[in-house]
């Protein structure tokens, strides 16, 4: 039986490839202020980008919420643990790579895709912190375990070298990039010591490598337990835009020339 859905929508070319909704910002009678995670950081990122005159509300894409019927196309009611939607519903997608640069091991998606050879997982994380899931580590195809307090030079060298190898080993149809900012110096839960500039450079390295292979990339912002991470995420987006790596119609970019700035796209 053919499933009908309201999930898909036409996105005009004038829109940016940035998906955002004010509903992403969680509030609960002020109690969210007691949690180390800034539950309103996505709204702050958008506000920073508006202040920089990079975008306005009409340029953003707001995703539609999947209904129970939509989810049941690919999941069982017992537990929604098989994320095969990407392969079954998106034409031309048969191989995917997850580049997980959050400070914590990504054991959730690793368990989800255990044994699924269509999905290549590269995970760079602090080996000493939560979750330490040994079983999930079996799903990691390129594992980079870090020690406490790793700083910019070591971190960026390892990220760049391993991304190149990952893309050589498994050239995907799409890359999902988990751009956690809990690698930031001073983050007590992440335990690493990467500077704000190092995070901006990290995102640039990832985008250059992936776009240089003519592969689309989806970046999601996840961990980051300091109030200043919203500004850093905004600065990274501004940098990617200034280098021509993102925008309504970003051109493909050579991964070999990482020190040469590109001409920015015209504002939509």
Separation of alpha carbons 205 and 245, rounded Å: 10
- For every residue of 210-226, DSSP letters joined together read HHHTT--EEEE-----S
Nearest to 125 by CA among 214, 211, 218, 187: 187
Strand partners, 19: 61
208's tokens: 């250059």
* pLDDT for res 87: 67
* pLDDT for res 258: 43
Radius of gyration of the chain (CA): 19
Separation of alpha carbons 30 and 2, rounded Å: 44
- Is residue 157 a contact partner of residue 134, using CB atoms and an 8 Å limit? no
> pLDDT per residue over 187-208, tens digit each?
999 999 999 999 999 999 999 9
> pLDDT per residue over 138-192, tens digit each?
999 999 999 999 999 999 999 999 999 999 999 999 999 999 999 999 999 999 9
Separation of alpha carbons 165 and 187, rounded Å: 29
Strand partners, 220: 178
Residue 24: Cβ-neighbour burial (10 angstroms; 0-12, 13-18, 19+)? middle
Q: pLDDT-derived band of residue 267, with 50, 70 and 90 as boundaries?
A: very low
Q: What is this structure's pTM?
A: 0.81
* pLDDT for res 16: 86
* pLDDT for res 264: 33
Sheet holding 119-126, edge to edge: 142-146, 119-126, 96-100, 174-178, 217-220
- Is residue 188 a contact partner of residue 224, using CB atoms and an 8 Å limit? no
């Amino acid at each position: 039986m053919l499933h009908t859905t309201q999930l898909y929508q036409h996105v005009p070319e004038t829109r940016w490839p940035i998906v955002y909704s004010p509903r992403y910002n969680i509030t609960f009678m002020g109690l969210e202020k007691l949690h180390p995670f800034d539950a309103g950081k996505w709204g702050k990122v958008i506000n920073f980008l508006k202040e920089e005159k990079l975008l306005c509300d009409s340029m953003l894409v707001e995703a539609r919420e999947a209904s129970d019927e939509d989810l049941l196309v690919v999941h069982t009611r017992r537990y929604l643990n098989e994320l095969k939607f990407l392969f079954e519903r998106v034409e031309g997608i048969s191989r995917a790579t997850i580049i997980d640069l959050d400070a914590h091991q990504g054991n959730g998606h690793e368990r989800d895709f255990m044994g699924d050879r269509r999905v290549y997982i590269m995970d760079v994380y602090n080996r000493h912190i939560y979750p330490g899931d040994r079983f999930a580590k079996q799903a990691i195809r390129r594992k980079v375990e870090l020690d406490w307090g790793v700083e910019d030079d070591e971190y960026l060298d390892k990220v760049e070298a391993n991304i190149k190898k990952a893309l050589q080993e498994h050239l995907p149809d799409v890359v999902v990039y988990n751009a956690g900012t809990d690698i930031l110096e001073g983050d007590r839960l992440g335990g690493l010591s990467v500077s704000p500039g190092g995070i901006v450079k990290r995102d640039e390295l990832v985008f250059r490598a992936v776009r240089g292979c003519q592969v689309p990339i989806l970046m999601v912002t996840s961990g980051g337990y300091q109030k200043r991470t919203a500004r850093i995420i905004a600065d990274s987006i501004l940098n990617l835009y200034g280098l021509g790596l993102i925008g309504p119609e970003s051109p493909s970019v050579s991964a070999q020339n990482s020190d040469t700035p590109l001409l920015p796209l015209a504002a939509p």
